[in-house]
Amino acid sequence: MSLIRYALLSLLAREPLSGYDIKLQMNDRFAPFWKAGSNQVYPELSKMEKDKLVALAGVEQHTYRPARKIYEITEEGQLALAQWTIQPKEVDKVRDDFLLKAYNSWMIPSEQMIERLEEIKAQHEERLVIYEQKISELTEQFKSSSTHDPMFSSIAVIQFGARYEQLYLDWCNELITKIKNS
């Protein structure tokens, strides 16, 4: 099965959603670490319905918008998602264009490299703020102490994102200091 299917099933395992709501949640919850376009979501939902991984739960009709099909995960979809979740996986390789550029920093005048580092640092600072806001927002909603509550894993993944951003910031600061002191 494709990763887009597992991403869709991951959202539908939490609650029934329309394709539009799935796209919004992907942009809200997954965007920092995983992306999918509308051109992937709707065709995949249709295929998943044929494969009995999701079922049509209903249709929302509003006079000012097109009707929305609401999908829910089936037992077969839950089983497929659970099996995939526990499958072993190799660690992904990091592919970051800026790291490749930093690899060549020895060729660039210090001032220019520091400018690039400050730019990338600002981008990661923005992402860190978004992660921290999301963690705060979800933590307020999460009243359960159960690790089996979907909110628990949502917060855990976002905390990883925040730690990654902080690591990147620390690395940028360290590199800036080294370049300035050389």
Look up the pTM and report it. 0.79
**Rg of the chain over CA atoms, in angstroms?**
21
Mean pLDDT of 3-9: 92
- Which pLDDT value is given to residue 35? 74
| H-assigned helices in 87-149 | 97-103, 110-141
CA–CA distance, 87 with 6 (Å, rounded to integer)? 13
Burial class (CB in 10 A: 0-12, 13-18, 19+), 131: buried
The DSSP bridge partners found for residue 60 are 68
The mean pLDDT of 49-69, rounded to a whole number, is 85
What are the two backbone dihedrals, phi and then psi, of residue 19, each rounded to the nearest 5 degrees?
-60, -40
The percent of residues above 70 in pLDDT, for the chain, comes to 98
Residue % of the chain over a pLDDT of 90: 58
Bridge partners (DSSP) of residue 68 are 60
Mean pLDDT for all residues in the chain: 90
How confident is the model over 66-87, as pLDDT tens digits?
788 999 999 999 999 999 999 9
pLDDT of residue 32: 64
CA distance linking residue 81 with residue 74, whole number of Å: 10
- What is the C-alpha to C-alpha distance for residues 124 and 44, in angstroms, rounded to an integer? 32
pLDDT score of 31: 65
Q: Has residue 9 got a pLDDT over 90?
A: yes
The band of 153, judged by pLDDT with boundaries at 50, 70 and 90, is confident
Residue 102: pLDDT band with limits 50, 70, 90: very high
